[in-house]
Structure 1
Amino acid sequence: MIATPSMMLTGTTMDTAQIVALVCIVSGVFTFVEYNSVSPSLIEFRDAPPFNRVRYFGLAATILALTVIAKGATEPTTLTVLFNMIGGSLAEAMDFPYSPVRLVVLMLPAEADGALINSVRTAAALSYLVSLLSLAFFVLALRLNNWPNQRGGFNVWINLPTFDATAGGDVVERLERDGQLNLILGFLLPFLIPAFVKLASDMFNPIQLQDAHTLIWTMTAWAFIPASLIMRGIAMLRVGQMIALQRERAYLHAKDEDAIAV
């Protein structure tokens, strides 16, 4: 997934290829160690599919689609033309006042040419749509498969290594608070990031989106990070709800046993 833009796009420099290869090796080793170690580390919900699978395939689909469109600028084919037409249609539909796509276009400098504006608009619309579809698929899987308890158990320590259940306070309240915070950030970030870039462009050079690699990874991160935060918020709220339900069942069971003993 990480190497897709470098392998498909022409004009990739040797330095870029070496950096990408290094990142791929580090990412592969890290993922292998995380999923084969007994003790938890950083990756959350590793034993609660399809949380990480949905995020991975959504990220991979975004990178692949944007790479195909970028490849069409230098080597047009039937596939690249098709993706460009789909992206252009989505851009027209999603580019309305105060939409995230419109804000991304507005963060570009005033001297940006029409080709760059169209490329950014198309990439933003396509990446945002893929993130919304990934989010919808995860919610559907959560509803239909009794996630995350479809395998008969859920280990909070393994699946939430960054969440300290012994830090103090009620676990359910902390899960709900963290989940709600993730939902709020995930909803606001697509609007806040372009505004921040626009405000900060006066102090330093803005992101140069003319480069195809920069455009692909910037638009992917802009759409993927908020969607990932929303998924995490929904997952944490679900875990909190599951713990609260188990507490209620245990309380009713203990109450029934006390009544029988009396």
Structure 2
Amino acid sequence: MLARMTSAAIRGLLVALLVVLPALMLPVAAIQSPEIVALSGLLAGALIFVEYNSAAPSLIEFRDAPPFNRSRFFFLGLCMVLLSLLAAHGFAPTGLTALVHKLAFALGEAMDFAYSPVQLVRLMMPPSVPQYTMELARAAAGMAYLLSLMSIGWFAVMIRLRDWPIGSGAFNVWVNLPLFDPTTGGDVVARLQRDAKLHIIAGVLLPFALPALVQITASNFDPSLLGNPQLLVWCVTGWAMGPAGMIVRGMARLRIADLIEQKRRSYAHDKDLQIV
């Protein structure tokens, strides 16, 4: 009981720190609404504490299937740290921010090719935006999108080399998929595969669709607001890591469906042997 509470408290603290991370790393002049940021961090930390302190999960999937959530947290945190350093360079340049700034601008330029998501991010910026702001958005998008691809590749390696999730111990499907109701719909495997494919398709398309959606709804969201460092970090991180998380979630569900199918075949084979 105490160990579970301690673990839940540490996880909640880490998530709260992740939420307020850009505000902590950016100079004071670049921070807006610190009270809202602090409140959001407290709410996120409290939610994670309650979720991990309970005996069974209610919202978070694959809670007992490391390193699924740990790897997502790591890449999300790494993305926010690097983008915060990139955004802070214009206010308080240091050797580290200069290094990240140079790397990000090189990545943004390299990934700004025809029909790429990074190019769409650049094209969604209105012509009135200063040149540096446009290049900064492109650099942030290039770095964030590369990290999102790395997170997907890392999870694929975990499935292939570490035999996730059974490589780290017993796996309970229904505990780790609290939002999946096996009693509704058709066959469980078919539903898992269908949901997984929908997640993967949405994750692939969203980085292309979101910039277009921003252009269509420019009256509600002005892309030039990305000139604000804090908003730049949050928006670009969500644009890149959100779809990547959907793809990883789809890959995980495909893996679970495959494991259930293997279990069924093994059970059918053992039953046939008993009959003989």
TM, length-normalised to structure 2: 0.90
- Give SS of 1:2's match: helix
Where in structure 2 are the equivalents of 1:214-225 lying within 5 Å? 214-225=231-242
Q: Which one-letter code corresponds to 1:4 in the other structure?
A: L
- Aligned equivalent of 2:220, options 190, 204, 207: 204
Is 1:253 aligned with 2:270? yes
Alpha carbons of 1:79 and 1:38: their partners in 2 closer, same or farther (altered >3 Å)? same
Corresponding residue pairs, total: 258
Name the residue aligned to 1:44: 61
Q: Which one-letter code corresponds to 1:204 in the other structure?
A: N
Name the residue aligned to 2:15: none
Name the residue aligned to 1:91: 108
Where in structure 2 are the equivalents of 1:48-197 lying within 5 Å? 48-197=65-214
Question: Residues 190 and 226 of structure 1 are in contact (CA less than 8 Å); yes or no, is this contact kept in structure 2?
Answer: yes
Query: What stretches of structure 2 of length at least 5 have no aligned partner?
Result: 1-17
Identical-pair percentage? 43
Question: Residues 32 and 230 of structure 2 are in contact (CA less than 8 Å); yes or no, is this contact kept in structure 1?
Answer: no
Deviation at 1:36, TM superposition (A): 1.9
Deviation at 1:204, TM superposition (A): 3.1
For residues 128-155 of structure 1, the C-alpha deviation after alignment (integer angstroms, 9 at most, x for no partner) is 1111111111110111111111234221
Query: What stretches of structure 1 of length at least 5 have no aligned partner?
Result: none
- Give SS of 1:102's match: helix
Where in structure 2 are the equivalents of 1:19-34 lying within 5 Å? 19-34=36-51
Q: Structure 1: how far apart are the matches of 2:96 and 2:31?
A: 27
For residues 33-92 of structure 1, the C-alpha deviation after alignment (integer angstroms, 9 at most, x for no partner) is 111212321100000111101110111000000101111101111111100110011011
- Give SS of 1:150's match: helix
Question: Residues 40 and 157 of structure 1 are in contact (CA less than 8 Å); yes or no, is this contact kept in structure 2?
Answer: no
More helix by share: 2
Q: Structure 1: how far apart are the matches of 2:241 and 2:48?
A: 19
Q: Structure 1: how far apart are the matches of 2:31 and 2:120?
A: 34
Aligned-pair Cα RMSD in Å: 1.4
